[in-house]
Amino acid sequence: MKTYARWIWSAALLLAFCASAATPKDIKDLIREAVSIPSALGNEDALGTKILSNLIKASAVRDNLGSIYARFGSGGTKIAVLAPLDEYGWFVSGVTPDGYLRLDRSAQPHPNFDNYLLGHPVVISSQKGLLYGVVSQPAMHLLSRERREELRTLTLDSIYVDIGVTSEEDARRKGIEYLDPVTLWPELSVLANDRWAGLSLGQKTSCALLESLAEDLGQAGLSQEVVLAWLAQSRYPARAGGARSSTGALRAKRTIQPKLAIVVDGVPADRGEKGPAIGKGPVLILPKEGGLKLKAAVEAIALEAKISLQVQAGAESPILNGLSGDGTEAVMLGLPVKFAHTPSEVVDLKDVLALKTVLFKLLQSGRVK
C-alpha cells in the first residue's frame, strides 16, 4: 500500500512539473525573476542560465562570452532583436584585516553612481553562492565637520562593505575572492497605475520582454529567420576606434551576421519636454547613419496597431553603435525609464506591452526585406 501511495505521489509531482514547464510564464513573473538574479558585468551566467531554461521552444545556445542566441524561422532576410544581459555594478578589490570588503568599479553609467552605495545592502556573487552585506553608514551627528564634508563628495575610498565577519580569513572562508561582482540589493516595488520601480529595471525588463517574445515566436509561422539575443558585456566598451561600441554588440554582430537588427533597452525618460516620456509608448532611436528602412516598418506597424511611438534623435547607444553599419541596418526600440541609472528606475507596464506588440507584429509580418 505504501509503495502504491508513493507511486501515486511521484506521478502527481511529475505531472505538476510537466504542466509548469509547459505553461508559459506571465511577463510580470519574468520581470520579477530577472530582477531577482544579479547580473553585473562579467557575471551574467546565472541570469543567462535561467533564461536558457525558459527557452523550451527555441534552438538556443550560449557563446564563450556568455551571450545567448535563440533562433526562430528560416529563410528570408535575417533579423536580430537584442537586449543587454548585464547590469552596472562593482567588484571586490580587497579585504581589510578586520573583514571589511573594499570595492572598485567596472563600467559605470555616470560619475555619481558610487553615491548610491552608502548605507545600502549589497549582494556579492561568490564562487560559493550569493553573499549579502551592507555598506557602512557612519552616524552623521558624531562626525566632525571635515568628515561630513568628505562624504558630500563620496569616493570608493570611503566605502566599506560589512558581511558580518571579523577577519580577512573568515571572509575568505565564506567564499570572498578578489573580482567577485557586487550589485545593490535588487528590490522591486509595485507602484500605482501599472508602474514598477527597481534596480536596473529597464535592462531586466528588456531581458524579460525578449523571453516573453520567444514564447510567442515559437508558435508563430515566420517567413524569415529571427534571432533573439541576450548580450553579455554589453556595458563594456570595445577597444576599437570609431564610435564607442560595446564588446557584446560587436561579438553578436559577428556571430549572427544579421541584415537587420533591433536593440531593446531602457531609454532615459521624463527629463524634459522635448525628450521621451514614460507611459507614452516605445522610443524609436536611429543610429548616426542608416536605419530608415526599419524606421518606416516600425512606424507602419505601430500605426496599424494604434500604438503611440516616440522618436528621439541624437541618442547615444554603444550597443546600437556596435551593430549598425558594414551591411547591417539597425535601430533601437527603447523602453522609456524614469529615474534611469538609479536604484529606483521606473517603467510603465503599458509601455512594455506596447513594445512587445510592435516587435511581434513586425517579426510576424515579414514586412522588412
The per-residue pLDDT for range 96-115, each reduced to its tens digit, is 999 999 999 988 898 889 98
Residues 134 and 32 in one domain: no
Residues 243 and 329 in one domain: yes
Task: Give the span between the Cα atoms of 24 and 76, in whole angstroms.
Answer: 28
Task: Give the span between the Cα atoms of 262 and 358, in whole angstroms.
Answer: 12
CATH code, domain carrying 351: 3.40.630.10
Would residue 13 count as lying in a domain? Answer: no
pTM score, two decimals?
0.89
pLDDT in the model for residue 145: 76
pLDDT in the model for residue 242: 53
Domain boundary among 120, 155, 184: 184
Segment 340-354, tens digit of pLDDT: 999 999 999 999 999
Task: Give the span between the Cα atoms of 198 and 209, in whole angstroms.
Answer: 16
pLDDT band at 8; cut points 50, 70, 90: very low
Residues 98 and 73 in one domain: no
Domain boundary among 129, 152, 184: 184
Half-sphere exposure of 86 (CA within 13 A, CB side): 30
Task: Give the span between the Cα atoms of 86 and 242, in whole angstroms.
Answer: 23
pLDDT in the model for residue 158: 83
Calculate what percentage of the chain has a pLDDT beyond 90.
69
Task: Give the span between the Cα atoms of 5 and 8, in whole angstroms.
Answer: 5
Task: Give the span between the Cα atoms of 178 and 168, in whole angstroms.
Answer: 12
Would residue 135 count as lying in a domain? Answer: yes
Residues 127 and 46 in one domain: no
CB 354 within 8 A of CB 284: no
Would residue 12 count as lying in a domain? Answer: no
**Mean pLDDT, the chain, integer:** 89
- Provide mean pLDDT across the span 237-241: 69
Asked if residue 139 has pLDDT above 70, the reply is no
Segment 273-324, tens digit of pLDDT: 788 999 999 999 998 888 889 999 999 999 999 999 999 987 888 999 999 9
- Provide mean pLDDT across the span 329-336: 96
Would residue 16 count as lying in a domain? Answer: no
Task: Give the span between the Cα atoms of 191 and 350, in whole angstroms.
Answer: 13
pLDDT in the model for residue 2: 38
Residues 269 and 315 in one domain: yes
Asked if residue 184 has pLDDT above 90, the reply is yes
Asked if residue 211 has pLDDT above 60, the reply is yes
Strand-pair partners of 334: 283
Residues 31 and 61 in one domain: yes
CB 310 within 8 A of CB 172: no
Asked if residue 247 has pLDDT above 80, the reply is yes
- Provide mean pLDDT across the span 123-134: 95
Helix (H) / strand (E) element for 346: namely: strand 345-348
| Residue 236, helix vs strand vs coil | coil
CATH code, domain carrying 152: 2.40.30.40
Asked if residue 256 has pLDDT above 50, the reply is yes
Cell of 252: 553578436
Residues 136 and 232 in one domain: no
Q: Which domain holds residue 260?
A: 25-87+199-365
pLDDT in the model for residue 5: 41
Segment 20-76, tens digit of pLDDT: 444 668 999 999 999 999 999 889 999 999 999 999 877 899 999 999 999 999 888
Residues 104 and 237 in one domain: no
Residues 228 and 80 in one domain: yes
Would residue 189 count as lying in a domain? Answer: no
pLDDT band at 131; cut points 50, 70, 90: very high
Would residue 65 count as lying in a domain? Answer: yes
Residues 236 and 179 in one domain: no
Q: Which residues contact 307 (CB under 8 A, 6 or more apart)?
A: 281, 282, 354, 357, 358
CB 73 within 8 A of CB 225: yes
Q: Which of 17-21, 149-153, 208-212 has the highest mean pLDDT?
A: 208-212
Judging by beta carbons within 10 Å of its beta carbon (0-12, 13-18, 19+), is residue 75 exposed, middle or buried?
A: exposed
Residues 240 and 118 in one domain: no
Helix (H) / strand (E) element for 249: namely: helix 247-256
Domains identified in the chain, total number: 2
Residues 38 and 115 in one domain: no
Asked if residue 149 has pLDDT above 50, the reply is yes
Calculate what percentage of the chain has a pLDDT beyond 70.
89
